[in-house]
Structure 1
Amino acid sequence: MKSAILQEADAEQFAEAGFAVLPGLYAPAELAALLRTVEQAPVSGPNFRRSQEVFAIRDMVGAVPALWPLLDTAALRQLLGQLFPTGCQLVKAIYFDKPAGSNWLVAWHQDLMINVSQRTDQPGFGPWTSKPEGVSVQPPVAVLENVVTLRLHLDDCDATNGALKVVPGSHRRGVVPAAAIAELTPEATVCAVPAGGVMLMKPLLLHASNRSTGNRPRRVMHLEFASVELPAGLAWREGKRLMM
């Protein structure tokens, strides 16, 4: 019998604190294959953004289909089976490359928006945004509570190259008003993650990242999974159903 990827202590931390770090989910050879595939990808189109400060791919699996067979390992399947025993779907995938020396930061926030295929007004859904890559909406809290984010780190990451800071337990506060965020951030902790490890995170967890101060890159694949079905008329824009 295979040992659980998500140990009891990790599951308890994830439920209570809203995050957990699981080292070694991907082997070095698997990381190398993922990086080669990203490096060979085209860099034009609305889903690609490249500058001296950042390289990002939105709808990563749709834009670079060859990535999914590399991501879809037995270890990932086992972890998702623990998180979603009745099955789930991939609902968002983004690649972030924060190059060495990059000076951008991310302010404190919660991940409140989901990507949908089209706008269909539904009770409890809103506000809406429309960008070149598609339509997004803030859903009811119950939808966000069903989503789990897996941040796969392709490089060792700590405070010197932009590791996430989080406020443990803040995901249990629902949508935190902007005016109340500052009083919570003194409780923050930095989440260091080794290359090949994943950080599990609840979207409602308050998080931020500082500017890099070292000379190491921070390349991350941000994957969001959910089992909840959206109301009739709404569909996950990047939805990819996974059979466990």
Structure 2
Amino acid sequence: MIQLATLPVLFPVAPNAPAAAAEQLALNGCATIPQVFSIQEVTQLLQIIDKAEATSHNFRRTQDLFAIRNLLGEIPELQRALFTPKLRQLLDTLFPNTTPCLTKAIYFDKPAQSNWLVAWHQDLMHNVNQRLDFLGFSPWSTKSDNVSVQPPREILESICTLRLHLDDCNATNGALKVVPRSHQCGAIPAANLPAYTLNAITCPVPAGGVMLMKPLTLHASNRSTSARPRRVIHLEFSAAELPSGLHWRERLPIL
């Protein structure tokens, strides 16, 4: 159990400070960096997404949400606009002496009229190409043609999530709440969550900013109370090698 009384308050790091962000990510399981993307770069990303043909089953549009799964597989032209020098510098800092691959990419747009919350959870299940029963890989889930599994803790700890915010995001339009240092506790049983979530903080992120997070970090979001949208590109990276025959379903080398 983490010592709730000793947890630090999480502050955004200074712009263009990937080393400070990496240190804060390792300590707290989360960090924010403003101004990783300029407003012009954000506009370009949104234009590319808006022009995409939404014909695949990976495009999901409802009254409350527009989402694109396997984002770079569906819209390959996003790669050049996403992997800017600043983002590459950040990845070099987060993964020193190794080259990560992209393991998952999602775009989601929570429009102003939507008003749903996301309950407290850790990102334990990850998509892979097939089910192979290796020690430590469990439980498994198969939905339609998607296979996912909870990998061993050392694999989960190797993953880094980058959430690129395309709109200003704060507590009024669903900014993430997190529990600092909860990533140090492994998979937390649902019955134990109340002991952790009392220490939650909210992480506002400006448009063009990036929030870094570990999959084991407890996080959630409240219902929106404003008319502002929240558009986010969610990217996951890892340099971990999975057992032979098993690989990340959306694995994409960084060119």
Report the TM range for the smaller structure's normalisation: over 0.9
Which residue in the other structure is 2:138 paired with?
126
Matched position secondary structure for 1:193: coil
**What code does the residue aligned with 1:166 have?**
V
User: Offset of 1:65 from its aligned partner?
Assistant: 1.1
Could you tell me which of 30, 47, 57 is aligned with 1:46? 57
TM-score in terms of structure 2 length: 0.91
| 1:40-189 equivalent positions in 2, closer than 5 A | 40-85=51-96, 86-132=98-144, 134-189=146-201
Which residue in the other structure is 1:223 paired with?
235
- Which has the higher mean CA deviation after the structures are superposed, 216-225 or 61-70? 61-70
User: Offset of 1:63 from its aligned partner?
Assistant: 1.1
- Which has the higher mean CA deviation after the structures are superposed, 111-120 or 172-181? 111-120
**What code does the residue aligned with 1:15 have?**
A
2:18 and 2:36 map into 1 onto residues whose CA distance is 13
Q: Deviations over 1:162-194 (max 9, x none)?
A: 000000110000000010011211100000000
2:135 and 2:42 map into 1 onto residues whose CA distance is 42
Q: Deviations over 1:85-132 (max 9, x none)?
A: 211100000011010121111000000011111111111101111123
1:208 and 1:240 map into 2 onto residues whose CA distance is 28
Equivalenced residues, count:
240
Q: Say whether residues 1:232 and 2:244 are aligned partners.
A: yes
Q: Which runs of 4+ in 1 moved over 3 A?
A: 4-9
Q: Say whether residues 1:29 and 2:23 are aligned partners.
A: no
Residue identity over aligned pairs, in percent, reads 58
Q: Say whether residues 1:205 and 2:217 are aligned partners.
A: yes
Q: Which runs of 5+ in 1 are unaligned?
A: none
TM-score in terms of structure 1 length: 0.95
User: Offset of 1:133 from its aligned partner?
Assistant: 5.1
User: Offset of 1:42 from its aligned partner?
Assistant: 2.0
Aligned CA RMSD, in angstroms, stands at 1.3
Q: Is the 8 A contact 1:18 1:170 kept in 2?
A: yes
2:38 and 2:145 map into 1 onto residues whose CA distance is 32
User: Offset of 1:38 from its aligned partner?
Assistant: 1.0
Q: Is the 8 A contact 1:168 1:205 kept in 2?
A: yes
Q: Is the 8 A contact 1:46 1:132 kept in 2?
A: no
**What code does the residue aligned with 1:123 have?**
L
Q: Is the 8 A contact 2:22 2:93 kept in 1?
A: no
